[in-house]
Structure formats: C-alpha cells, structure tokens
Amino acid sequence: MKLRTLGKSGYSISEMGIGCWQLGNDFGPMEDERATAILQEADRQGMNFWDTADVYGGGVSESRIGGYCRENPSDRFIVTKVGRDGTLYPGAYTKQKVRANIEGSLKRLHVEALDLVQLHCIPTEVLKAGDMLAWMEDFQQEGLIKHFGASVETMDEALFAITHPQLTSIQTIFNVFRQDQVNELFPKAIENQVGIIVRLPLASGVLSGKMQKNHQFAESDHRHYNRDGAFFSVGETFSGIPFEQAVEFAETLKAWLPEGMSLAQMAMRWVLDHDAVSSVITGASRVEQVAENASVSSLEPLSSQLHEKLTEFYFNTVKTHIRGVM
C-alpha cells in the first residue's frame, strides 16, 4: 500500500483508505462479525486511514471501530466528523454542544485525542460565520483533537474552507461522475497544503458496474430512502445522478476498461491518478471489496488517452444530469 501525506498534518496515510458509513448499518444491516472482518481486512491490506462520523448509525460505526482498535492496537489514523447530530444541525451550534459531541466520539473511539475531526457538511452560512472553525482551533489547543478539516457539499464551501490557515483537509465527492474539482479546487489544495479526502469514488457503488436498473436496496439503505434526496443532500447518493441514468453511464464505461481491470478498479484508479488526492475512502460492505479496493494502489495509472475520454464524457454527457448544488 502506497502512502501519501495528509496536508499540513504530516500524517503518512494509505492512499486507499476505508469509509465506515457502512459500519453504521446505513447501507443495509451489517452484523458485528462482518464489521470486524472488514476492519481486519483493512488492516491486512495496509489501509491505515479510516473515516467515520459520530452520526453513522447513531454512534455504532465509531463504537465498532473503537472496540476493534482497543483489541487490536496498531498505528492508524481514525478520522471522524462533527456537526450533523440532531442537537446541533441545522441551526443550534454552540461551543458547549460541539464539545459534548466531540467528547462522545472520544469515548466511543477510546482515545484521548482525535486524529482529525471534520466539520460534517454543516450549513454554508454556519461554516462561513467562522465560529465552528474558531472552536476547532480552541479544541486543538486544548488537546481534544489533533487536527481539523471540513467535509463539504459544494465548491463554494470548499473554496471558503481551504483558505483557513490551520485547516488540514477537505473531504469532497470526487469521481468519474463528478470532476469539477480538478480545475477549480485541486490547484488551490496543493498551493495551500490542504489534503483532499475523496468520498463516493464509486458513486455509492454504481460505478462498480454491478447494479442493474431494477436493483433493490434494503429499506434501511440510504440508496433506497434517499435515492432522490428526500432525507439529505441528493449528491450523497449516487453522486446526485438519477439511479437508472447512473447505471446506463456505468454500462458505457465498461467498453473502455483497460485489460484486466474491473470497472471499480478503473474508477478508483482514476481518482488516485490526481496528485492533489491524499486518500480515497471507498466504503465497503463486504470483505472482498476491501481487498479489491486496496489493490488499486498497486495498479498502473490510466493512460492519458483514457483520462481524456473520461474528462470529455463527464463534461459533455454526465454533468448535466447531476442534481443538487455542486
């Protein structure tokens, strides 16, 4: 597993990390044994960068990670998020309540200081008011957190947060179906030494090419209940593209696969081919997926011809289908 440096933190993190929203049962129910096996596989594959949030499964994802790490100590970077808990979101942010939320994460993860806490897609006006960022600086000085970053939904939010001198990372949706960051965000990330953490590299799984238009998701899976953005930002589910349309796009891409690569590998390799990216936190709901995702680190970069085709495909065909504010 190759390592990259995460922004100004100096952390050497695995370029393929793991997203742990799935461990909160938000992609359908997941039993404890499977959650443990997924984390064991991440360790075995040298993935030392794990992303979670206090709200995933109401704390279940963090608790599973915390329990596993206590029993299997190792050098890892466990990054979490704050800001979407019902006590805060959307408009009840106070320093005291944010601190209480962070203390909850510390307890569930069994650590004295959190490696990195990301503001969790807080409303744009709350982000821009600046109080949350100032409180994070205070929590950092107090030693509750080691670093802080921002997980954002829009380019506007990313371009605002990236100028903060202490900000370590931006987490953004970046994939073959969502490419605007290449020109608009990545040069600034490099210039400001801010790490880029990529979520949804597979557009919630559809970019693996395994889904048919009639695919049925469990009722507790956000790909069922938030398919069209009924519960939270539509962009977080299938990258904002109507599911059937996304399945069609994935079918088109299958014709362009380099020999021996799966569509999932091609989609993730495409992300890694961008130098500004620090780690890709693909979510996994099965052990085999963890191994396949880790393998992307050792694949050759895609050819420049394929990169050009994928860029054209995005700007000429895909972009117009994205719903929600980008």
Ligand X SMILES: NC(=O)c1ccc[n+]([C@@H]2O[C@H](COP(=O)([O-])OP(=O)(O)OC[C@H]3O[C@@H](n4cnc5c(N)ncnc54)[C@H](OP(=O)(O)O)[C@@H]3O)[C@@H](O)[C@H]2O)c1
* Residues found near ligand X in the complex (CB under 6 A): 19-22, 27, 51, 81, 120-121, 151, 171, 199-205, 208, 210, 236, 264, 281-286, 289, 292-293
Q: What does the alpha-carbon distance between residue 255 and residue 251 come to, in Å, rounded to a whole number?
A: 8
Look-up of token digits 């993860």: 109
Q: Is the peptide bond before 90 cis (omega within 30 degrees of 0)?
A: yes
- Looking at the Cβ atoms of 140 and 237, the one nearer to ligand X is 237
Please report the DSSP string for 213-243 in residue order.
TT----TTSHHHHTTTSSSS-GGGSGGGS-H
To the nearest 10°, report the CA torsion of 216, 223, 183, 306.
-20
Name the nearest CA neighbour of 237 among 160, 178, 312. Answer: 178
Q: How far is the CB of 27 from ligand X (least distance, A)?
A: 4
Which runs of consecutive H residues, i.e. helices, occur in the chain?
32-44, 60-71, 95-109, 124-129, 131-142, 155-161, 181-184, 186-192, 222-225, 243-253, 263-272, 287-295, 304-313
- Looking at the Cβ atoms of 286 and 323, the one nearer to ligand X is 286
- Looking at the Cβ atoms of 57 and 205, the one nearer to ligand X is 205
Q: What does the alpha-carbon distance between residue 128 and residue 160 come to, in Å, rounded to a whole number?
A: 7
Q: How far is the CB of 199 from ligand X (least distance, A)?
A: 3
- Looking at the Cβ atoms of 191 and 251, the one nearer to ligand X is 251
Tally DSSP H helices, then E strands, for the chain: 13, 10
| 293 contacts 19 by C-beta, under 8 angstroms | no
- Looking at the Cβ atoms of 42 and 203, the one nearer to ligand X is 203
Q: How far is the CB of 206 from ligand X (least distance, A)?
A: 8
Name the nearest CA neighbour of 202 among 228, 181, 176, 227. Answer: 176
Q: How far is the CB of 177 from ligand X (least distance, A)?
A: 10
Q: How far is the CB of 221 from ligand X (least distance, A)?
A: 8
Q: How far is the CB of 63 from ligand X (least distance, A)?
A: 15
- Looking at the Cβ atoms of 298 and 304, the one nearer to ligand X is 298
Q: How far is the CB of 239 from ligand X (least distance, A)?
A: 8
- Looking at the Cβ atoms of 142 and 258, the one nearer to ligand X is 258
